[in-house]
Chains A and B, each alone.
Chain A
């Protein structure tokens, strides 16, 4: 049950970051501060913030950026975004609102466990098929609306 909260919260943070990085010429409500060489700060109050107007004109520079810790009601979420060649290439979760060490940085450990292969068409008979539908649209619309509001 807790994982549901985390997934949704993580989703929001990641999507928000992607979105804000893509809003190149518009101001954004997201506040991203360049990360220092020291360990990331652990509270919302002492993380240095870049003023939105600075974000507005800035092109994305390569580097790692630590977001401010966001209160997700049940704990804090904090992410580190990595920009390479002007593009967002990595989002690492520095804080999750529980005691499990979950991080999308599990990359380094989990990725070798993930199996990759070329897509292969199967011919065996099946009882049913799972596929994408348009039903998640409402959720995405809702998210889009919220993001629009967050921009304002």
Chain B
């Protein structure tokens, strides 16, 4: 069974390929994402996030879940020497942390009921077991030059892939007139065990420019696939082991 819903401003898809699909568990996963949206969306007046922004929710009344997310945000802030902050100009917006955390939580939830599943939220994927074809999940990397095409196909039987791309551009981090080699990467995908980590590494590596792929190369347990503006692909040395054998 396959089900897609638009939640948290992006399409979320769950595919279950078990012989006996536990519909309740799938519903639970979507329910979880909807709750997360309700609780943490900056676009919903009654969310915790907006309550905090209006000063209506004080620290003593934070839920345990909110505390967990804030701790994750806080440790990320320390890890990045203060550059990562869920507070922007006095406005609280934890979306940068919530997405990866939520997918990881949803996968853990589903893993308790299913052996063969796929969860995707806005291009970030966690997959386990086999698809209905009886093979590991076949996952394409989107062509950054044409959204309808795929350029690489990997096989995942337990792991995650996240892609960071051109959405990052135009944020005034890179000078557009500068032709520096750090400014010509169009897309960078990272494969790893956990989507939470793959997502962060993909974001970080993409921002490193051409050095990003070297950085992924240096990380044990992660492989990367980088596309530059000249349509040249650079893979880490272990990427091939994920590539699906085309029959």
Contact = CB atoms under 8 A, between A and B. Distances in A.
Contacts of B236: 113-114
B208 A11 contact: yes
B80 A110 contact: no
Contacts of A139: 84, 96, 203
Contacts of B96: 135-136, 138-139, 142
The 4 closest A-B pairs by CB, nearest first: A132-B165, A131-B142, A11-B204, A139-B96
Given A88-B180, A89-B181, A132-B187, A106 B144 contact: no
A116 B224 CA distance: 12
B231 interface: yes
5 contacts: A70-B81, A71-B81, A88-B180, A107-B214, A142-B86
Name the residue in B83, B124, B215 with the highest tally of chain A Cβ atoms < 10 Å from its Cβ: B83
A127 B15 contact: yes
A137 B167 contact: yes
A10 B208 contact: yes
Contacts of A9: 79-81
Given A114-B234, A114-B236, A136-B96, A106 B214 contact: yes
Given A121-B143, A135-B10, A144-B173, A8 B240 contact: no
Contacts of B173: 15, 18-19, 140, 143-144, 147
A131 B182 contact: no
B178 A22 contact: yes
B141 A136 contact: no
B235 A115 contact: yes
B244 A15 contact: no
Nearest to B133: A127
A104 B83 contact: no
A87 B171 contact: no
Given A129-B150, A133-B123, A140-B168, A114 B213 contact: yes
Interface size class of B (residues with CB under 8 A): 35 or more
B95 A138 contact: yes
A57 interface: no
Contacts of A110: 214, 217-218, 237
Interface of A: 3-5, 7-12, 14-16, 18-19, 22, 70-74, 87-91, 102-104, 106-107, 110-111, 113-122, 124-147
Nearest to B224: A114
B64 interface: no
B84 A115 contact: no
B200 interface: yes
Contact of A7 (B89, B200, B244): B200
B232 A117 contact: yes
Given A115-B239, A133-B123, A145 B88 contact: yes
Given A126-B153, A130-B140, A147-B173, A116 B232 contact: yes
Nearest to A115: B235
Contact of A14 (B142, B181, B208): B208
B207 interface: yes
B108 interface: no
